[in-house]
């Protein structure tokens, strides 16, 4: 970690991140879990700000912390027939925990081992305008394909939600 990143602020955000994740996993109420999830996303946005990646932070808040959270809440409300007490069983899988831990250890080893190989970051973070130019210049093709993907999902959504005609 470079000296420019303030230690106490990072500690608070990291605590919020991990604590929020634990809170999400242990919440009995599904809506509480969804709210915890958006808290984690906000904390991650804070981490991005700390790394002076303003664009990422704004996108994180816009897309994940707000749009995605709303979608998640919508889905929970739409699919849960019983509005009263959407409670789930406490579900802790030991195998899943071990797997998550193992993945974490391997990733930490890999990054600690070869962290210096990660390409050097630019000194001056590139602005949003430059990003837009890249997106609509060099990367137009993936952008257009993404538009087609959205179209496909729209067609699919209409197909499944339309009344079945006899």
Number of C-beta neighbours around residue 60 at 10 A: 22
> Of the two residues 22 and 151, which places its CB atom closer to other proteins in the complex?
151
Task: Kindly tell me which residue out of 67, 71, 109, 130 binds other proteins, with binding defined by CB under 8 A.
Answer: 109
Q: Shortest approach of other proteins to residue 9 CB, angstroms?
A: 25
Q: Shortest approach of other proteins to residue 55 CB, angstroms?
A: 17
> Of the two residues 104 and 127, which places its CB atom closer to other proteins in the complex?
104
Cα-Cα end-to-end distance for the chain: 64
Q: Shortest approach of other proteins to residue 45 CB, angstroms?
A: 19
Task: Kindly tell me which residue out of 113, 123, 124, 129 binds other proteins, with binding defined by CB under 8 A.
Answer: 113
- 127-146 positions binding other proteins, by CB under 8 A: 138-142, 145-146
- Contact between 81 and other proteins by CB under 8 A: the answer reads no
Q: Shortest approach of other proteins to residue 154 CB, angstroms?
A: 11
Q: Which residues bind other proteins (CB under 8 A)?
A: 106-107, 109-111, 113-114, 117-119, 138-142, 145-146, 148-149, 151-153, 155-156, 159-160, 164
């Amino acid at each position: 970690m470079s000296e420019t990143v303030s230690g106490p602020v990072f500690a608070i955000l990291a605590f919020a991140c991990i604590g929020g994740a634990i809170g999400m996993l242990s919440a009995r109420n599904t809506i509480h879990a969804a709210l915890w999830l958006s808290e984690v996303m906000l904390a991650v946005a804070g981490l991005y700000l700390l790394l002076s990646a303003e664009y990422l932070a704004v996108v994180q808040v816009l897309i994940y912390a707000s749009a995605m959270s709303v979608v998640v809440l919508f889905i929970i409300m739409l699919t849960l027939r019983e509005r009263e007490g959407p409670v789930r069983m406490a579900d802790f899988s030991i195998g899943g925990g071990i797997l998550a831990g193992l993945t974490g250890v391997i990733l930490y080893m890999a990054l600690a081992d070869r962290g210096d190989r990660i390409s050097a970051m630019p000194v001056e973070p590139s602005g949003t305008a430059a990003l837009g130019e890249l997106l609509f210049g060099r990367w137009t093709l993936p952008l257009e394909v993404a538009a087609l993907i959205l179209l496909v999902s729209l067609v699919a959504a209409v197909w499944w939600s339309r009344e079945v005609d006899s």
